[in-house]
A = this chain, B = another copy of it.
Amino acid sequence: MAGGEVDDHVEVKNQQVLARDYISAIPEESDMYVNNTATIKLKVPTGDEFNGSVLLKNLYLSCDPYMRGVKHRDTGTTAQDRIVFFAPDSPIVGYGVSKVVDSRHPELKAGDLVWGITKWEQYSLITNTQSFFKINHTDVPLSYYTGLLGMPGMTAYAGFYQVCNPKKGEYVYVSSAFGAVGQIVGQLAKLMGCYVVGSAGKADLNAALKRYFPQGIDIYFENVGGKMLDAVLLNMRLHGRIAVCGMISQYNYEKHEGVTNLMHLIYKRIRMEGFFVNDFYHLYPNFLDVMLPFIREAKIAYVEDITQGLENGPAALVRLFSGRNAGKAVVAVAHHAQ
Protein backbone atom coordinates (compact mmCIF):
# COMPACT_ATOMS: atom_id res chain seq x y z
CA MET A 1 0.00 0.00 0.00
CA ALA A 2 1.39 3.37 -1.09
CA GLY A 3 0.55 5.25 2.11
CA GLY A 4 2.35 2.59 4.10
CA GLU A 5 5.58 3.16 2.19
CA VAL A 6 5.71 6.76 3.33
CA ASP A 7 4.71 6.06 6.91
CA ASP A 8 7.30 3.32 7.19
CA HIS A 9 10.08 5.68 6.16
CA VAL A 10 12.48 7.20 8.63
CA GLU A 11 11.55 10.61 10.01
CA VAL A 12 14.42 12.91 10.98
CA LYS A 13 14.95 16.29 12.56
CA ASN A 14 14.97 19.13 10.06
CA GLN A 15 16.49 22.36 11.32
CA GLN A 16 15.04 25.37 9.50
CA VAL A 17 15.65 29.12 9.18
CA LEU A 18 12.29 30.83 8.76
CA ALA A 19 11.12 34.35 8.04
CA ARG A 20 8.80 36.08 10.48
CA ASP A 21 7.06 38.03 7.71
CA TYR A 22 7.52 39.55 4.27
CA ILE A 23 10.20 42.21 4.30
CA SER A 24 10.45 45.45 2.42
CA ALA A 25 14.04 46.40 3.12
CA ILE A 26 17.42 44.88 3.96
CA PRO A 27 16.88 41.83 6.20
CA GLU A 28 17.87 41.99 9.84
CA GLU A 29 18.56 39.04 12.10
CA SER A 30 15.30 39.73 13.92
CA ASP A 31 13.42 39.10 10.64
CA MET A 32 14.45 35.43 10.85
CA TYR A 33 14.30 32.65 13.45
CA VAL A 34 15.66 29.11 13.77
CA ASN A 35 13.32 26.18 14.38
CA ASN A 36 15.06 23.12 15.82
CA THR A 37 11.96 20.99 16.36
CA ALA A 38 10.67 20.33 12.83
CA THR A 39 10.92 16.83 11.37
CA ILE A 40 10.69 15.44 7.86
CA LYS A 41 10.29 12.06 6.21
CA LEU A 42 13.14 11.39 3.83
CA LYS A 43 10.90 10.27 1.02
CA VAL A 44 8.96 11.99 -1.74
CA PRO A 45 5.26 11.37 -0.96
CA THR A 46 3.14 9.30 -3.29
CA GLY A 47 0.35 10.87 -5.31
CA ASP A 48 0.30 12.51 -8.74
CA GLU A 49 0.97 15.95 -7.33
CA PHE A 50 4.47 14.77 -6.39
CA ASN A 51 5.37 13.42 -9.83
CA GLY A 52 8.72 15.00 -10.66
CA SER A 53 9.45 16.01 -7.07
CA VAL A 54 12.68 15.43 -5.18
CA LEU A 55 13.68 15.24 -1.53
CA LEU A 56 16.98 17.08 -1.09
CA LYS A 57 19.63 17.22 1.58
CA ASN A 58 20.96 20.79 1.42
CA LEU A 59 24.76 21.08 1.54
CA TYR A 60 25.49 24.76 0.79
CA LEU A 61 23.15 27.72 0.78
CA SER A 62 23.90 30.94 -1.03
CA CYS A 63 23.56 34.45 0.43
CA ASP A 64 22.79 36.79 -2.46
CA PRO A 65 22.21 40.54 -2.69
CA TYR A 66 18.75 40.19 -4.23
CA MET A 67 17.54 38.32 -1.08
CA ARG A 68 16.03 41.46 0.31
CA GLY A 69 12.72 43.22 0.29
CA VAL A 70 12.25 45.51 -2.64
CA LYS A 71 10.00 48.50 -2.32
CA HIS A 72 8.57 48.45 -5.79
CA ARG A 73 6.81 51.42 -7.20
CA ASP A 74 5.84 49.03 -9.93
CA THR A 75 5.89 45.27 -9.80
CA GLY A 76 7.88 44.50 -12.92
CA THR A 77 7.08 41.47 -14.99
CA THR A 78 9.78 38.83 -14.69
CA ALA A 79 9.95 35.59 -12.80
CA GLN A 80 12.86 36.97 -10.81
CA ASP A 81 10.55 39.51 -9.28
CA ARG A 82 8.08 36.87 -8.29
CA ILE A 83 10.50 34.82 -6.21
CA VAL A 84 9.54 35.54 -2.62
CA PHE A 85 12.59 35.00 -0.46
CA PHE A 86 10.87 35.94 2.79
CA ALA A 87 7.30 34.82 3.57
CA PRO A 88 5.63 34.50 7.00
CA ASP A 89 6.76 31.38 8.93
CA SER A 90 8.26 29.87 5.79
CA PRO A 91 11.87 28.80 5.28
CA ILE A 92 13.99 31.42 3.53
CA VAL A 93 14.18 30.66 -0.21
CA GLY A 94 17.49 30.81 -2.05
CA TYR A 95 20.00 29.09 -4.31
CA GLY A 96 21.84 26.12 -2.94
CA VAL A 97 23.80 22.94 -3.63
CA SER A 98 22.02 19.78 -2.56
CA LYS A 99 22.17 16.00 -2.69
CA VAL A 100 19.16 14.03 -3.88
CA VAL A 101 17.92 11.73 -1.08
CA ASP A 102 14.81 10.50 -2.84
CA SER A 103 13.44 11.23 -6.27
CA ARG A 104 10.32 10.89 -8.37
CA HIS A 105 12.00 12.99 -11.07
CA PRO A 106 12.81 11.04 -14.25
CA GLU A 107 16.31 12.49 -14.62
CA LEU A 108 17.43 12.60 -11.01
CA LYS A 109 18.17 9.70 -8.68
CA ALA A 110 19.24 9.33 -5.04
CA GLY A 111 22.87 10.35 -4.63
CA ASP A 112 22.86 12.88 -7.49
CA LEU A 113 24.14 16.36 -6.73
CA VAL A 114 22.18 19.39 -7.96
CA TRP A 115 22.14 23.18 -7.68
CA GLY A 116 19.11 25.43 -7.92
CA ILE A 117 16.48 27.20 -5.84
CA THR A 118 16.00 25.41 -2.54
CA LYS A 119 15.12 26.40 1.03
CA TRP A 120 17.04 27.26 4.17
CA GLU A 121 16.62 23.95 6.01
CA GLN A 122 18.53 20.70 6.29
CA TYR A 123 16.16 18.78 4.01
CA SER A 124 13.74 20.14 1.43
CA LEU A 125 10.89 18.61 -0.49
CA ILE A 126 10.95 20.37 -3.85
CA THR A 127 8.03 20.06 -6.26
CA ASN A 128 9.18 22.76 -8.67
CA THR A 129 12.51 21.47 -9.95
CA GLN A 130 12.65 23.77 -13.00
CA SER A 131 15.62 25.70 -11.65
CA PHE A 132 17.79 22.65 -10.93
CA PHE A 133 20.94 21.64 -12.76
CA LYS A 134 22.58 18.30 -12.15
CA ILE A 135 26.21 18.63 -11.06
CA ASN A 136 28.45 16.39 -13.19
CA HIS A 137 31.86 17.78 -12.24
CA THR A 138 32.90 17.23 -8.63
CA ASP A 139 36.66 17.76 -8.90
CA VAL A 140 36.04 21.42 -7.99
CA PRO A 141 34.65 22.65 -4.65
CA LEU A 142 30.94 21.91 -4.51
CA SER A 143 30.31 25.31 -2.94
CA TYR A 144 31.39 26.86 -6.28
CA TYR A 145 27.99 25.85 -7.66
CA THR A 146 26.47 28.62 -5.53
CA GLY A 147 28.82 31.14 -7.19
CA LEU A 148 31.55 30.68 -9.76
CA LEU A 149 29.80 27.71 -11.40
CA GLY A 150 26.24 28.66 -10.51
CA MET A 151 23.88 31.52 -11.07
CA PRO A 152 26.39 34.33 -10.36
CA GLY A 153 28.92 32.74 -12.70
CA MET A 154 26.33 32.34 -15.46
CA THR A 155 25.28 35.96 -14.87
CA ALA A 156 28.87 37.15 -15.31
CA TYR A 157 29.40 34.96 -18.38
CA ALA A 158 26.15 35.95 -20.09
CA GLY A 159 26.45 39.62 -19.21
CA PHE A 160 30.06 39.96 -20.26
CA TYR A 161 30.33 37.73 -23.33
CA GLN A 162 26.77 37.95 -24.65
CA VAL A 163 25.66 41.47 -23.74
CA CYS A 164 28.90 43.49 -23.65
CA ASN A 165 30.40 42.14 -26.88
CA PRO A 166 33.94 42.67 -25.54
CA LYS A 167 37.08 43.04 -27.62
CA LYS A 168 40.70 42.56 -26.59
CA GLY A 169 42.31 45.76 -25.31
CA GLU A 170 39.06 47.47 -24.37
CA TYR A 171 38.60 49.44 -21.15
CA VAL A 172 36.27 47.67 -18.74
CA TYR A 173 34.81 49.02 -15.54
CA VAL A 174 33.04 46.75 -13.02
CA SER A 175 31.16 48.19 -10.07
CA SER A 176 30.58 45.98 -7.00
CA ALA A 177 33.76 44.28 -8.17
CA PHE A 178 34.16 42.10 -5.11
CA GLY A 179 30.65 40.73 -5.20
CA ALA A 180 29.68 37.27 -6.35
CA VAL A 181 29.25 38.37 -9.98
CA GLY A 182 31.68 41.29 -10.18
CA GLN A 183 34.79 39.33 -9.25
CA ILE A 184 34.07 36.87 -12.06
CA VAL A 185 33.42 39.56 -14.68
CA GLY A 186 36.69 41.26 -13.81
CA GLN A 187 38.67 38.06 -14.27
CA LEU A 188 36.92 37.09 -17.51
CA ALA A 189 37.73 40.55 -18.85
CA LYS A 190 41.41 40.23 -17.86
CA LEU A 191 41.63 36.77 -19.41
CA MET A 192 40.36 38.32 -22.63
CA GLY A 193 43.10 40.96 -22.57
CA CYS A 194 41.04 43.94 -21.47
CA TYR A 195 42.13 46.71 -19.13
CA VAL A 196 39.94 46.28 -16.06
CA VAL A 197 39.18 48.43 -13.06
CA GLY A 198 36.76 47.38 -10.38
CA SER A 199 35.28 49.42 -7.60
CA ALA A 200 33.59 48.75 -4.31
CA GLY A 201 32.65 51.97 -2.62
CA LYS A 202 31.79 55.54 -3.48
CA ALA A 203 34.01 58.65 -3.00
CA ASP A 204 34.16 61.26 -5.81
CA LEU A 205 33.06 58.96 -8.58
CA ASN A 206 33.61 61.19 -11.59
CA ALA A 207 37.13 62.25 -10.55
CA ALA A 208 38.10 58.67 -9.70
CA LEU A 209 36.83 57.38 -13.04
CA LYS A 210 38.69 60.10 -14.95
CA ARG A 211 41.89 59.12 -13.11
CA TYR A 212 41.57 55.38 -13.78
CA PHE A 213 40.15 55.76 -17.29
CA PRO A 214 41.84 58.77 -18.89
CA GLN A 215 40.82 57.33 -22.29
CA GLY A 216 37.31 56.55 -21.08
CA ILE A 217 35.32 53.36 -20.60
CA ASP A 218 34.30 50.96 -23.39
CA ILE A 219 32.34 48.50 -21.24
CA TYR A 220 30.56 49.06 -17.97
CA PHE A 221 29.17 46.11 -16.08
CA GLU A 222 26.45 47.83 -14.07
CA ASN A 223 25.63 46.53 -10.60
CA VAL A 224 25.02 49.79 -8.78
CA GLY A 225 22.83 52.35 -10.57
CA GLY A 226 21.98 55.88 -9.44
CA LYS A 227 24.89 58.30 -9.00
CA MET A 228 27.40 55.66 -10.07
CA LEU A 229 25.66 55.28 -13.44
CA ASP A 230 25.59 59.07 -13.86
CA ALA A 231 29.34 59.30 -13.27
CA VAL A 232 30.02 56.41 -15.64
CA LEU A 233 27.92 57.95 -18.42
CA LEU A 234 30.15 61.02 -18.32
CA ASN A 235 33.21 58.81 -18.82
CA MET A 236 32.00 56.38 -21.47
CA ARG A 237 33.70 56.19 -24.86
CA LEU A 238 32.13 56.28 -28.29
CA HIS A 239 30.11 53.11 -29.00
CA GLY A 240 30.39 51.98 -25.38
CA ARG A 241 28.24 49.21 -23.93
CA ILE A 242 26.57 49.03 -20.54
CA ALA A 243 25.29 45.65 -19.36
CA VAL A 244 22.71 46.32 -16.66
CA CYS A 245 22.92 43.41 -14.24
CA GLY A 246 21.66 45.10 -11.11
CA MET A 247 21.21 48.48 -9.48
CA ILE A 248 21.94 47.59 -5.88
CA SER A 249 22.09 51.22 -4.77
CA GLN A 250 18.45 51.61 -5.74
CA TYR A 251 16.81 48.54 -4.22
CA ASN A 252 15.90 50.23 -0.97
CA TYR A 253 14.82 53.60 -2.17
CA GLU A 254 11.10 54.25 -2.11
CA LYS A 255 11.80 56.82 -4.81
CA HIS A 256 14.82 55.96 -6.91
CA GLU A 257 17.64 58.39 -7.50
CA GLY A 258 17.24 60.13 -10.83
CA VAL A 259 19.81 59.46 -13.55
CA THR A 260 20.48 62.75 -15.30
CA ASN A 261 23.21 62.04 -17.86
CA LEU A 262 21.30 59.86 -20.32
CA MET A 263 21.99 62.40 -23.10
CA HIS A 264 25.41 60.75 -23.24
CA LEU A 265 23.71 57.69 -24.71
CA ILE A 266 23.30 59.85 -27.81
CA TYR A 267 26.57 61.80 -27.65
CA LYS A 268 28.54 58.55 -27.53
CA ARG A 269 26.09 56.17 -29.23
CA ILE A 270 25.99 53.93 -26.19
CA ARG A 271 24.06 50.67 -26.00
CA MET A 272 22.65 50.00 -22.52
CA GLU A 273 20.99 46.66 -22.04
CA GLY A 274 19.30 45.02 -19.10
CA PHE A 275 19.61 41.25 -18.93
CA PHE A 276 18.47 38.39 -16.77
CA VAL A 277 20.45 35.20 -16.38
CA ASN A 278 17.41 32.98 -16.90
CA ASP A 279 17.40 33.91 -20.59
CA PHE A 280 20.86 32.38 -21.01
CA TYR A 281 20.76 29.00 -19.28
CA HIS A 282 20.70 27.22 -22.63
CA LEU A 283 24.37 28.28 -22.72
CA TYR A 284 25.20 26.54 -19.43
CA PRO A 285 27.17 23.74 -21.15
CA ASN A 286 29.22 26.33 -23.08
CA PHE A 287 29.77 28.20 -19.83
CA LEU A 288 31.15 25.06 -18.15
CA ASP A 289 33.42 24.44 -21.16
CA VAL A 290 34.95 27.87 -20.56
CA MET A 291 35.00 27.98 -16.76
CA LEU A 292 36.06 24.46 -15.74
CA PRO A 293 39.44 24.69 -17.54
CA PHE A 294 40.00 28.18 -16.09
CA ILE A 295 39.41 26.74 -12.60
CA ARG A 296 41.49 23.58 -13.11
CA GLU A 297 44.39 25.60 -14.53
CA ALA A 298 44.06 28.11 -11.69
CA LYS A 299 43.56 30.93 -14.18
CA ILE A 300 40.59 32.18 -12.23
CA ALA A 301 40.40 32.71 -8.48
CA TYR A 302 37.27 32.84 -6.42
CA VAL A 303 37.10 34.09 -2.87
CA GLU A 304 34.41 32.52 -0.72
CA ASP A 305 33.25 33.58 2.71
CA ILE A 306 31.87 30.33 4.12
CA THR A 307 29.87 30.32 7.34
CA GLN A 308 29.56 26.92 9.06
CA GLY A 309 26.14 25.80 10.28
CA LEU A 310 22.62 26.58 9.15
CA GLU A 311 21.88 28.22 12.51
CA ASN A 312 24.47 30.89 11.62
CA GLY A 313 22.79 31.60 8.29
CA PRO A 314 20.83 34.69 9.45
CA ALA A 315 24.02 36.39 10.66
CA ALA A 316 25.79 35.54 7.36
CA LEU A 317 22.95 36.98 5.29
CA VAL A 318 22.82 40.17 7.34
CA ARG A 319 26.61 40.55 7.11
CA LEU A 320 26.35 40.44 3.30
CA PHE A 321 24.31 43.64 3.34
CA SER A 322 26.62 45.36 5.80
CA GLY A 323 29.48 45.23 3.28
CA ARG A 324 31.65 43.50 5.91
CA ASN A 325 31.93 40.19 4.05
CA ALA A 326 34.76 39.52 1.61
CA GLY A 327 33.97 37.17 -1.25
CA LYS A 328 30.97 35.06 -2.11
CA ALA A 329 28.87 34.46 1.00
CA VAL A 330 27.94 30.80 1.49
CA VAL A 331 26.42 28.89 4.40
CA ALA A 332 27.69 25.31 4.81
CA VAL A 333 24.84 23.16 6.08
CA ALA A 334 26.31 19.68 5.75
CA HIS A 335 29.27 18.01 4.09
CA HIS A 336 28.84 15.94 0.98
CA ALA A 337 29.99 12.71 2.61
CA GLN A 338 27.66 13.04 5.61
Binding site for B on A (CB under 8 A): 73-74, 76-78, 80-81, 225, 229, 234, 238, 244-247, 250, 255-276, 279
11 interchain pairs (CB within 8 A)?
A76-B263, A229-B262, A244-B262, A245-B266, A258-B259, A259-B259, A259-B260, A266-B275, A267-B274, A270-B274, A272-B272
Give the chain B neighbours of A260 by CB distance below 8 A. Answer: 255-259
Shortest CB-to-CB span from A75 to chain B, Å, is 9
Q: Once the chains are docked, how many angstroms separate the CA of A250 from the CA of B265?
A: 13
Shortest CB-to-CB span from A213 to chain B, Å, is 14
Q: Other CB < 8 Å A-B pairs besides A247-B262, A271-B271, A271-B274, 18 of them?
A: A73-B261, A74-B234, A77-B268, A81-B267, A229-B262, A244-B266, A246-B266, A247-B263, A247-B266, A258-B259, A259-B262, A264-B274, A266-B275, A268-B274, A269-B275, A269-B279, A270-B273, A271-B272
Name, among A77, A260, A266, the residue most crowded by chain B CB atoms within 10 Å (CB to CB): A266
Q: Which of B77, B265, B267 contacts A273 (CB 8 A)?
A: B265
Shortest CB-to-CB span from A242 to chain B, Å, is 9
Q: Which of B77, B250, B256, B262 contacts A267 (CB 8 A)?
A: B77
Q: Once the chains are docked, how many angstroms separate the CA of A59 from the CA of B246?
A: 52
Q: Across the interface, name the chain B residue whose C-beta is closest to A206.
A: B74
Shortest CB-to-CB span from A303 to chain B, Å, is 25
A276 close to B266 (CB less than 8 A): yes
Give the chain B neighbours of A275 by CB distance below 8 A. Answer: 266, 269
B274 close to A273 (CB less than 8 A): no
Give the chain B neighbours of A266 by CB distance below 8 A. Answer: 244-247, 274-276
Q: Once the chains are docked, how many angstroms separate the CA of A256 from the CA of B279?
A: 34
Q: Once the chains are docked, how many angstroms separate the CA of A269 from the CA of B259?
A: 18
Which 9 A-B pairs have CB atoms at the shortest separation, nearest pair first?
A: A258-B258, A265-B274, A76-B267, A266-B274, A256-B260, A271-B273, A272-B272, A244-B265, A259-B259
Give the chain B neighbours of A250 by CB distance below 8 A. Answer: 263
If A258-B257, A270-B273 touch, does A74 touch B264 (CB 8 Å cutoff)? yes
Shortest CB-to-CB span from A70 to chain B, Å, is 9
Shortest CB-to-CB span from A206 to chain B, Å, is 9
Give the chain B neighbours of A78 by CB distance below 8 A. Answer: 238, 267-269
Q: Once the chains are docked, how many angstroms separate the CA of A45 from the CA of B80?
A: 68
Name, among A225, A238, A244, the residue most crowded by chain B CB atoms within 10 Å (CB to CB): A244
A263 close to B271 (CB less than 8 A): no
Q: Once the chains are docked, how many angstroms separate the CA of A258 from the CA of B246?
A: 18
Give the chain B neighbours of A269 by CB distance below 8 A. Answer: 78, 273-276, 279
Q: Once the chains are docked, how many angstroms separate the CA of A74 from the CA of B261?
A: 9
Q: Once the chains are docked, how many angstroms separate the CA of A221 from the CA of B80?
A: 27
Give the chain B neighbours of A262 by CB distance below 8 A. Answer: 225, 229, 244, 247, 256, 259
Q: Across the interface, name the chain B residue whose C-beta is closest to A235.
A: B74
A76 close to B268 (CB less than 8 A): yes
Name, among A78, A257, A258, the residue most crowded by chain B CB atoms within 10 Å (CB to CB): A258
A263 close to B256 (CB less than 8 A): yes
Give the chain B neighbours of A245 by CB distance below 8 A. Answer: 266
Q: Across the interface, name the chain B residue whose C-beta is closest to A256.
A: B260
Shortest CB-to-CB span from A163 to chain B, Å, is 9
